[in-house]
Amino acid sequence: MKVRPEKTAHFHITGVHRSMQSNENVIHLEEVSKVYKGPAGDIHALKTVDLEVKPGEFVGVKGPSGSGKSTLLNMITGIDHPTEGNVTVAGTSIVDMSENQLARWRGRQVGVIFQFFQLLPTLTIVENVMLPMDFCGMYKTKERPERAMHLLEQVELADQAHKLPSTLSGGQMQRAAIARALANDPPLIVADEPTGNLDSKTADRIFQLFEGLVERGRTFLMVTHDDNLATRIPRVLRVLDGVLYDDVNPDYVEAKKQDVQIPEGMNGVNGKNGVKHYDENRVAQGMA
């Protein structure tokens, strides 16, 4: 089976979302810090992070294990709350929302692909994919199974639709989680190593699906350790010990071998709003 992102037109994701028409940030983090209380003391997982992501951007996130990548994603999706700072996503400040409000808001606005999938074990794969549609009342009830199957086809998993998650391989569960994240056609997709369990050929096809979503106006933020894929992402954030470094991806510029417009404030070590830009030498010397 092939990934066929063009077929998604049938499911109304060809048009640019209303929220995508303005130049407002889809993601805006202002001085966000996250401190976890551990038995051995406080863990500063994020340290005064600022971030602006515009509609239709494709943004990668890299960084060593334990550096704060998943914590950063949890702030953006409202899955966890910052200790300090403000988080605005798709025009809504989410830090003071209740869990109930957050769940409904997230269901429509953000597709989340979790690092460890978080599929519901008692539901079949196709039921897992239908869940966000049922929860938010999206699409007509009778359309939902067809839409879920279509999404499973796109991630090459239609043949596993009626199995329980526990009977699937890691890569299959990961693709089910991707299909579920796309269920409500969210304007923002946030993915934590979404291809980490896939072989390189499948990862490439799934990545093409993501690129297709970005071409159609979706905003995509994705943690990845895959350097080959990272060369295809225009902007890559780096998280090192809770500090966020933000820059145009030099590998992408090199791979494209063309003039890539460097946004204002992204060509130096100290950017606007105090955002730090990644400079390998300075970071290595502890200067950035």
Binding stretches for ligand ATP (CB under 6 A) = 36, 38, 43, 45, 63, 65-71, 115
Q: Does 74 sit near Mg ion (CB under 5 A)?
A: no
Q: Among residues 45 and 188, whose Cβ is nearest to ligand ATP?
A: 45
DSSP string, 55-95: TT-EEEEE--TTSSHHHHHHHHHTSS--SEEEEEETTEE-T
Q: Among residues 38 and 286, whose Cβ is nearest to ligand ATP?
A: 38
Q: Among residues 80 and 204, whose Cβ is nearest to ligand ATP?
A: 80
> Judged by CB under 5 A, how many residues of this single chain contact Mg ion?
2
Q: Among residues 240 and 266, whose Cβ is nearest to ligand ATP?
A: 240
Q: Among residues 115 and 231, whose Cβ is nearest to ligand ATP?
A: 115
Q: Please state the closest distance from residue 53 (CB atom) to Mg ion, in A.
A: 19
Are 159 and 209 in contact by the 8 Å Cβ rule? The answer is no
Q: Residue 128: which of ligand ATP, Mg ion, none does it interact with, CB under 5 to 8 A by kind? A: none
Specify the 3-state DSSP secondary structure of 39. coil
Binding to Mg ion (CB under 5 A) within 194-213 occurs at: none
Q: How far apart, in whole angstroms, are the C-alpha atoms of residue 44 and residue 25? A: 26
Q: Among residues 19 and 115, whose Cβ is nearest to Mg ion?
A: 115
Q: Please state the closest distance from residue 153 (CB atom) to ligand ATP, in A.
A: 30
Q: How far apart, in whole angstroms, are the C-alpha atoms of residue 178 and residue 224? A: 14
* Max Cα–Cα distance, the chain, nearest Å: 59
Kindly indicate which of the ranges 65-73, 74-82, 99-107, 238-246 contains the residues binding Mg ion, using the contact rule CB under 5 A.
65-73
Distances 161 to 117, 165, 167, 266 between C-alpha atoms, Å: 16, 10, 11, 44
Name beta bridge partners: 192.
223
Which amino acid is present at 288?
Answer: A
Q: Residue 67: which of Mg ion, ligand ATP, none does it interact with, CB under 5 to 8 A by kind? A: ligand ATP
The label of the residue with tokens 């109930």 reads: 100
Tokens matching residue 13? 């994701």
Q: Does 67 sit near Mg ion (CB under 5 A)?
A: no
Q: Does 224 sit near Mg ion (CB under 5 A)?
A: no
Specify the 3-state DSSP secondary structure of 155. coil
Q: Does 70 sit near Mg ion (CB under 5 A)?
A: yes
C-alpha closest to that of 136 among 168, 93, 97, 105: 105
Q: Which residues bind Mg ion (CB under 5 A)?
A: 70, 115
